[in-house]
Amino acid sequence: MPKIPLVALAALFAAQFAFGENLSIKPCPGRNLDRHAAICKAVKETQDAKLVFIGDSITQQWGGNPELKRGAYGLATWNKHYARHNALNLGVSSDRTENILWRLRNGALDGLAPKVFVLLAGTNNFMVYKSTPAASAEDTVSGVDAIVSLLKEKSPKSQVIVVGVLPRNFKGKDTPEQIALPGKVNALLAAKYKAAKGISYLDMTPRVTDPSGAPKKELFYDGLHLNSAGYEVWAAELNPVLAKFL
């Protein structure tokens, strides 16, 4: 049997260690630092926000505060239901749970104590970004829970509404594993938050999927992101929960 050089052994060990590491809970800067700067500015200027949305592009595309100059498919619905609560939108496109954790620890949460946080996160953890591998369902849930724990630590009296990961088949190109992951994650989230104090769980899956379990074409414009009709459905599902706390 040929000998393996020590350098190769070290690289193999490092790769194995990295594969087993849960990156979903390790705060890490994401993309779109301009958006992060706009969020931090809006947070400083809107300390009386009663409602704060947190997440990735699906949340970002609500629009609202800070302003999104294009792609704000949910803006009309936002203005109808949430603007009166001085609502903030902390969503950032492409963010994974670890990126959200970094933003919340670096200015995006400073001084906020809203009545309600609404969190939708996790779908980007299923994607491979450069050297960052796709996460398992279990690691993704750990990432979501790390965000929830941070929110409760920083603002203990705030209610946190965790929204289940939406179904996906991005542009019809997702792998079977990616298509299956939202269901696996949501089952774990439902069990984790079933009786949690100060935390509510909302799964919109029945409202946004067709009989085959795929995202409804009339609610998603690319199999991942909601269109304006999709945001109306989100509001219809969310508002009865919000009414208990706002």
Give residue limits of the domains in the chain. Answer: 30-242
* Tokens found for residue 218: 């009339």
pLDDT computed for residue 4 by the predictor? 37
DSSP for 7-32 reads HHHHHHHHHHHHHHS-GGGS----S-
pLDDT computed for residue 217 by the predictor? 97
Q: Distance (Å, rounded) from C-alpha 225 to C-alpha 151? A: 25
Q: Is 192 helix (H, G, I), strand (E, B) or coil?
A: helix
Angle at 122 between CA 121 and CA 125, to 5 degrees: 140
Q: Distance (Å, rounded) from C-alpha 157 to C-alpha 187? A: 26
pLDDT computed for residue 30 by the predictor? 86
pLDDT computed for residue 17 by the predictor? 36
Query: Which stretches in the chain have pLDDT values below 70?
Result: 1-19
Query: Where on the phi/psi map is residue 94: left (φ > 0), alpha (ψ -120 to 50), or beta?
Result: left
CA atoms within 13 A on the CB side of 12: 6
pLDDT computed for residue 11 by the predictor? 37
> Does the reported pTM lie above 0.85?
yes
Domain 30-242, CATH? 3.40.50.1110
pLDDT computed for residue 96 by the predictor? 97
pLDDT computed for residue 178 by the predictor? 95
Q: Distance (Å, rounded) from C-alpha 33 to C-alpha 19? A: 27
pLDDT computed for residue 132 by the predictor? 85
pLDDT computed for residue 23 by the predictor? 95
Q: Distance (Å, rounded) from C-alpha 187 to C-alpha 199? A: 16
Q: Which long-range contacts (CB under 8 A, 24 or more apart) does 4-7 make?
A: none
